[in-house]
Structure 1
């Protein structure tokens, strides 16, 4: 069944989804569809008006998907090539992620981020993978601002990690450092890595240094690897 996204409590699809349903998929009155609000609710529905600008539907049944018993938040610096961070978002949403936070570090080469486009990619990935929860995407802020937010008492129960392999001390792999059933935050730096000051700030804020393996990874690869590892240990 085709899954569409409508975050508002209305009985019609968005203009983009209406056009896709009627013009691309050639659905018509009486055809069955599924609609999610991105908050865990999925509605079984039938089309009542096949309008390619405002396709109306009638809800037949409602199902609620509970949140996962663990959560993954990846904090990542936008890559110089925007295609790479878009690829990460698409794949991370398909695998399973609750929150993606963007930050600008000392060594970041990209200083502008178009969140609207990234949200569209996340929505498309959610629909493609037939999920009912849309991850939260946060506006990019400075590294210091992000740490201040993550140090808030409301996120104090999260397991905090920074993906960085120092030259002078052994550190655990993320798969070993993380415990199952947790709420995780992982920091992944830009192409130029974290600065020494940022690493110190993260450690002072309670972040544990971890490795993602012996190979040097691109920013988007490291972010996706962290996401996959945390999903895997909770299977």
Structure 2
């Protein structure tokens, strides 16, 4: 099943435009009367009939709709990797797994301090459609470590680090909360001061295992663990 994306939904009708319209009507040669599936990125999936095609828009009639509700929400705070392609690879995987929001952290040891938001949003949209995931994550631009605390809405808050030993595993520390967030640091990890600051904000320090994982791998592993309640 080919999925299309639109936020332009009004009662019984949906409008496709831009790249989504071109892909539907030109690449796939869909025509009036054909049925297609549209997702809104917020858990809604719509079976639609194409009722009109013009130069700029494709108008659809909603035949059936299904709304998916997630048990919990996951917010990943992660320092961007030096190689932007590793960020893109990670993003594809965590969208497939399921993540609701991604915020890029600029820490004391961060090397990269910018990301290409336009490209990342495009990759996230493509990954959502290809894997038939109904949820499109919000992707925030880079924030300083301390500024990131101002946008936290999660009930359960974790910080994964390697500053010292004998830290409990994330998988053993999960609380039954509806909203969860985790901080993942850069290649050089968080500093002791950053970890101390997070703990003062009622964060729980956790480990992702014995191996020293790359930043992007840590993002994937933590997203999998925090999504276990959604299964």
TM-score for the superposition, normalised by structure 2: 0.91
Matches within 5 A, 1:64-75: 64-66=67-69, 68-75=70-77
**Counterpart of 1:165?**
162
Larger proportion of strand: 2
Residue deviations 1:161-213, cap 9 Å, x none?
A: 1111233x411110001134542111000112112221111111111111111
CA deviation after TM superposition for structure 1 residue 146, in Å: 0.4
TM-score after normalising by structure 1: 0.89
Q: Deviation of residue 159 (structure 1)?
A: 1.2
Among 12, 16, 30, the alignment partner of 1:13 is: 16
Task: Specify every segment of 5 or more residues in structure 2 that has no aligned partner in the other structure, as ranges.
Answer: none
Retained in 1: the 8 A contact 2:163–2:190?
A: no
CA distance in 2, matches of 1:54, 1:18: 7
Question: 2:62 pairs with 44, 54, 59, which one?
Answer: 59
Corresponding residue to 1:130 among 129, 132, 150: 132
Between the aligned partners of 1:46 and 1:69, the Cα distance in structure 2 is: 31
Question: Do structure 1's residue 32 and structure 2's residue 35 form an aligned pair?
Answer: yes
1:225 is paired with a residue of what secondary structure? Answer: helix
Secondary structure in structure 1 of the residue aligned to 2:16: coil
Separation in 2, partners of 1:101, 1:83: 17
1:23 lines up with 2:26 in the alignment: yes
Report if the CA contact (8 A) 1:161-1:185 is conserved: yes
Match of 1:214 in 2: 210
- Once the two structures are superposed, the pairs formed by residues 33-48 of structure 1 within 5 Å of their partners are 33-48=36-51
C-alpha contact 1:69 1:181 (8 A) present in aligned 2: no
Could you tell me whether the CA contact under 8 Å between 2:173 and 2:206 is conserved in 1?
A: yes
Unaligned runs of 5+ in 1: none
Total equivalences in the alignment: 228
1:88 to 90, 97, 100: 90
